[in-house]
């Protein structure tokens, strides 16, 4: 999901190291520990051209631009010590972004000559935090621009206030030959706590902005789940795994967008932006926090393939190893609180998405049909939409079409 101003690239000239981005001072602690962690493949670090090395490009270790909703990263730890030899492509630094942990790797072979930021420091993208050379040269003096400190990782330096007030003052790293005393499990818990705290903060910021900016309208519809339950029962009788309700809903959403392609849009910078593919987001609970995974290009995919991809996304979400592509860019987001016995609710939009579908519990209700009362598995869907992009009648057609696909027969090929 693109955001204005986040995708900016670093501006480097032969006389500059990095043009840093202005930022607000932050000092945060918090979050909840969670399950196992898995880092993404290491990222190649950019090349920094320092003014003292105009004649040639000398690689500095920069906080990368990962394209998330914020441009801040927290130093979790250095994987190499000063003086240590580094091979090309070898990870040297571990950082936490808003929702994931990344390893930054070196595109060059050389020796780590200097470290300019210690674990716990919060910096913006583009900051130079380390230096690699051939070992025959002195590293340049580089000053980190701190925007905050993460006390879950390490105690804040005594002069933190001075560092934040005077951003060009150098932050000296601790001695690199000092042994690590933390138990790996403790470090793991700290890292997860940092991520969860960042996730809570990002969610708060984005939901507040959505509530203030987007005129949201809610549409309610009761959906008959008889067809879904029959399909699930048939699969189970065959000894096969039945997809989750969210998968059936996602499948119906995709078919509805295929029927009504004009609704496959985002609202960005005051205008509608068409999307090329049909992508469906599904909210996943992580402890007391929430994260939305985005299943891309689902047009033409069957139930079983959507189920396989959704389960894979859940595993990555639990390990906090989702990429930006797997978090943003959905045509519509599904949020389901049925497992908590919630009958119906309304959800906050996830800009620049125009639609969000809130799903309650599936329950037996007495429904009058043909002059008689029947007990039917029913579920209330609430489609919320951004009135800047869509009017009520067209949005109602989209919800109606989702309902029709949920209540109609599912394609035979999905049973294969």
Look at residue 338 and give its three-state secondary structure.
helix
**25-to-122, 167, 208, 242 alpha-carbon distances in Å:** 9, 10, 19, 49
Contact 30, 197 (CB under 8 A): yes
- pLDDT tens digits, residue range 239-295? 888 999 999 999 999 999 999 999 999 999 899 999 999 999 999 887 667 788 999
Q: Are both 26-200 and 214-415 of the same fold?
A: no
How do the domains of the chain map onto residue ranges? 26-200, 214-415
| CA atoms of 138 and 176, how far apart (whole Å) | 17
For the ranges 46-60, 95-109, 146-160, 372-386, the lowest mean pLDDT is seen at 46-60
Quick one: pLDDT at residue 297? 96
- pLDDT tens digits, residue range 359-412? 999 999 999 999 999 999 999 999 999 999 999 999 999 999 999 999 999 876
Quick one: pLDDT at residue 415? 46
Answer with the residue of higher pLDDT: 28 or 244. 244
Residue from 115, 117, 116, 59 nearest 88 by CA = 59
| CA atoms of 30 and 37, how far apart (whole Å) | 18
Answer with the residue of higher pLDDT: 184 or 78. 78
Quick one: pLDDT at residue 349? 95
CATH superfamily for 214-415 is Chloramphenicol acetyltransferase-like domain (3.30.559.10)
Average pLDDT over residues 45-61: 51
Answer with the residue of higher pLDDT: 144 or 43. 144
Its pTM stands at 0.61
The chain-wide mean pLDDT, for the chain, equals 77
Pairing of strands 110-115, 128-133: antiparallel
Contact 14, 56 (CB under 8 A): no
| CA atoms of 193 and 29, how far apart (whole Å) | 8
State which CATH number among 3.40.50.170, 2.40.50.100, 3.60.21.10, 3.40.50.300 fits the domain covering 26-200: 2.40.50.100
Q: Is the pLDDT of residue 176 over 90?
A: no
């Amino acid at each position: 999901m693109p955001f204005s101003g986040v995708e900016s690239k670093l501006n480097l000239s032969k006389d500059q190291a990095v043009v840093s981005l202005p930022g607000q001072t932050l000092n945060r602690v918090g979050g909840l520990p969670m399950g196992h962690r898995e880092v993404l493949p290491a990222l190649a670090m950019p090349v920094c051209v320092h003014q003292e090395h105009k004649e040639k490009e000398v690689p500095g270790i920069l906080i990368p631009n990962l394209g998330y909703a914020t441009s801040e990263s927290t130093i979790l730890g250095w994987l190499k010590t000063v003086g240590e030899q580094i091979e090309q492509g070898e990870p040297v630094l571990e950082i936490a972004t808003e929702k994931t942990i990344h390893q930054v790797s070196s595109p060059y072979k050389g020796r780590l000559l200097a470290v300019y930021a210690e674990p716990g420091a919060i910096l913006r993208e583009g900051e130079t935090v380390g230096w690699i050379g051939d070992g025959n040269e002195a590293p340049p003096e580089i000053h980190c621009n701190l925007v905050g400190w993460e006390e879950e990782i390490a105690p804040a330096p005594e002069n933190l206030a001075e560092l934040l007030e005077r951003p060009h003052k150098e932050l000296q790293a601790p001695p690199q030959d000092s042994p690590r005393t933390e138990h790996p499990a403790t470090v793991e818990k700290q890292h997860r706590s940092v991520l969860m705290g960042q996730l809570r903060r990002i969610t708060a910021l984005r939901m507040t902005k959505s509530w203030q900016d987007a005129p949201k309208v809610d549409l309610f519809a009761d959906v008959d789940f008889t067809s879904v339950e029959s399909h699930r029962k048939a699969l189970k009788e065959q000894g096969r795994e039945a997809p989750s309700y969210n998968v059936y809903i996602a499948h119906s959403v995709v078919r509805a967008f295929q029927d009504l392609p004009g609704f496959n849009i985002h609202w960005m910078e005051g205008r509608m932006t068409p999307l090329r593919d049909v992508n469906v987001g599904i909210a996943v609970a992580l402890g007391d926090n929430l994260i939305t995974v985005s299943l891309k290009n689902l047009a033409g995919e069957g139930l079983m393939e959507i189920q396989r991809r959704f389960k894979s996304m859940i595993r990555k979400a639990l390990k906090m190893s989702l990429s930006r592509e797997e978090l943003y860019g959905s045509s519509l987001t599904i949020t389901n609180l049925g497992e908590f016995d919630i009958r119906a609710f309304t959800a906050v939009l996830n800009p620049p998405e125009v639609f969000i579908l809130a799903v309650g519990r599936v329950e037996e209700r007495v429904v009058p049909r043909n002059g008689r009362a029947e007990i039917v598995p029913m579920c209330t869907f609430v489609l919320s939409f951004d009135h800047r992009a869509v009017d009520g009648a067209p949005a109602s057609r989209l919800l109606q079409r989702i309902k029709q696909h949920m209540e109609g027969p599912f394609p035979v090929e999905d049973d294969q």
